[in-house]
Structure 1
Amino acid sequence: MTEQLCAVVTGGSAGIGAAITQQLLEDGHKVISLARRAADFTHDNLISYEVDLADRAQTAAVAAEIAAKYDVTLLVNNAGVIRPDLIEDVKLEDLDYLTQLHLGAMITLIQAFLPAMKAKKFGRIVNMSSRAIVGLATRTNYAGTKAAIISMSRTWALELGQHGITVNVIAPGPIVTDMFTEVIPEDSDKARALANSIPVKRLGQSDDIARATAFFLDKKNSFVTGQTLFVCGGTSLGSISL
C-alpha cells in the first residue's frame, strides 16, 4: 500500500491542476488545492482553500495556516495565467501580476513547507513552466516568468538535494484546458491545424501532465533533480503558431 503523503497543488481545481489533484488522490495521498475557486469534485482526502495567489498577503497567510496544520512534503506549483500581448502592447502591470503569481507565490509556499520537508529528510517539488519558453508570439510576460521558473528550480535543486528534496520542472506544450479553449475552440479548424503541426499529431491532455508530475513526485525517484521535462508532443523541437 502506498504511504499517504500530504500534497499541495496550486491551481488544483481546474485544468492541469485538477488532473494532477485527481492523480494524487488516486495514488492515496491527501491533497490540498489552492485556487481562486473550489474544485467541482470532492474526495475524502481533498481539502480546498480559495485564495488568490497573485495576492502576496493572502498567499502568505494561507501558506502559514497550512504549514501549521499539515506536514506538506509534496508541492506542485501549477497555477498560472497567460496575459498575451504583442511586444508593442505589453503592460508592465501584467508583468508584475505574473511575477507574483508564477514566481512570488512559489517562493512563499516553498519557504512555508521546507521545515517539514527538511525534518522528514524528504520532499518533492514540481514547478510548472511552459513550452512557450523556447519562443511563442504574444508571450513576452508569460514566457519570461515561466523561463525564470526553470532557473530558480535548478538553483533550489542544488540547495536542497542534501536534504532529500528534489526539485523538477515540467514544460507543457498545447494542452486542452479551459484556458486553451478560450483562445482556440477545441473543435475548430485552428485546433485541428495546430494538432496536425505537432509531431505526434494530437493536442495534449491534462492527464499527460498529471502522469509526468506523478513520476517526479514518487518517493522512489530520488535521483532525478534540477531537470526540465517537456511534455509537449515534440513542439519544443520547432516553432508553432497559435
Structure 2
Amino acid sequence: HCDLSDPESTTAALTRALEQGPITRLVNNVGAVFPNLLEDQTLAEFDAAIALNLRSAFLCARALLPGMRAAGFGRIVSMSSRAALGKERRTAYAATKAGLQGMTRTWALEEGANGITANAVGPGPIATELFTTANPADAPATQAIIDSVPVQRMGTPEDVAHAVSYLLDERSGFVTGQTLYVCGGMTVGAHHD
C-alpha cells in the first residue's frame, strides 16, 4: 500500500514489490477528477491531478522497465478516459488522461523492440459504485446519459477489465501505442433516435 500521489511513498512501495523479482505487467489504474470550470479550477487541484493521474504512471513504468527489458517482455496498460477527448468541468482530469495517452504512444515507440507494449484504455460511462451513487438509476439525468450511449446501456467494470486483460495478454504483442475506448460507441459521435 502506498500514496501514489507521493513520489517517496510510491518509490518505496515499488522497491518492496520488486524485491521478489521483476514485474512484467503493469496497469496504471488511478484517477481523481476535481470537477470544475476552468475559471474555478485551482492550481492545487491541477497539481494534485498531475501528481496522482500522470506522475504515478511515469514512476511505476520507469521502475518496472529494467525488469521488463531483462525479460524481453512487458505489458503496460494505462487507464485513460473518454474525457481525454474533452469534457466540460474536467480541465485537470482531461489534461492528465490525455497526457497518459501521449506517454503511452511514446513508450510504445521506445520499447517495442524490447518486447514491451504500451496501450491505454479509455472508459466511457461505467456503472461503478461511485457513478451509481452520484447518478441514481431513476434520475432523468442518469437516463439521459444512458440514452446518449449508442449501445443503450451503461458500461460495467467487467467491460473495462476485459479490455485490459486483452492488452495484458502475451498474444497482444502486435498491438501497441493504442487507446482502446470502452465507451459503448460514444467516441464515434452523437447518438440520435
TM-score normalised by the shorter chain: which range applies?
over 0.9
**Does 2:95 correspond to 1:132?**
no
How far 1:70 moved relative to its partner?
3.2
**Does 2:108 correspond to 1:157?**
yes
Moved more, 99-108 or 175-184: 175-184
How far 1:185 moved relative to its partner?
2.4
184, 197, 205: which one pairs with 2:148? 197
Counterpart in the other structure of 1:225: 176
Distance 1:149 1:182 in 2: 27
- What letter is aligned with 1:115? P
Counterpart in the other structure of 1:81: 32
Distance 2:20 2:131 in 1: 35
Task: State the superposition RMSD in angstroms.
Answer: 1.4
Counterpart in the other structure of 1:101: 52
What does residue range 40-51 of structure 1 map to in structure 2 within 5 Å? 50-51=1-2
Task: Please identify which structure carries the higher helix content.
Answer: 2
CA deviation string 1:126-145 (max 9, x = no partner)? 01110011221100100011
41, 47, 57: which one pairs with 2:8? 57
How far 1:239 moved relative to its partner?
5.8
**Does 2:186 correspond to 1:235?**
yes
**TM-score where L is the length of structure 2:** 0.94
Could you say what secondary structure the match of 1:167 adopts? strand
Counterpart in the other structure of 2:42: 91
Provide runs of 4+ in structure 1 moved above 3 Å: none
Percent identity over paired residues: 45
- What letter is aligned with 1:80? G
- Using a 3 Å threshold, how does the CA distance of structure 1 residues 198 and 183 change in structure 2: closer, same or farther? same
Distance 1:169 1:187 in 2: 32
Counterpart in the other structure of 2:68: 117
Distance 1:211 1:62 in 2: 27
- Using a 3 Å threshold, how does the CA distance of structure 1 residues 182 and 55 change in structure 2: closer, same or farther? farther
Could you say what secondary structure the match of 1:236 adopts? coil
- What letter is aligned with 2:42? K
Distance 1:186 1:70 in 2: 45
Distance 1:180 1:99 in 2: 22
- What letter is aligned with 2:50? T
Distance 1:175 1:70 in 2: 34
Could you say what secondary structure the match of 1:229 adopts? strand
Distance 1:118 1:129 in 2: 24
Gaps of 5+ in 1: 1-49
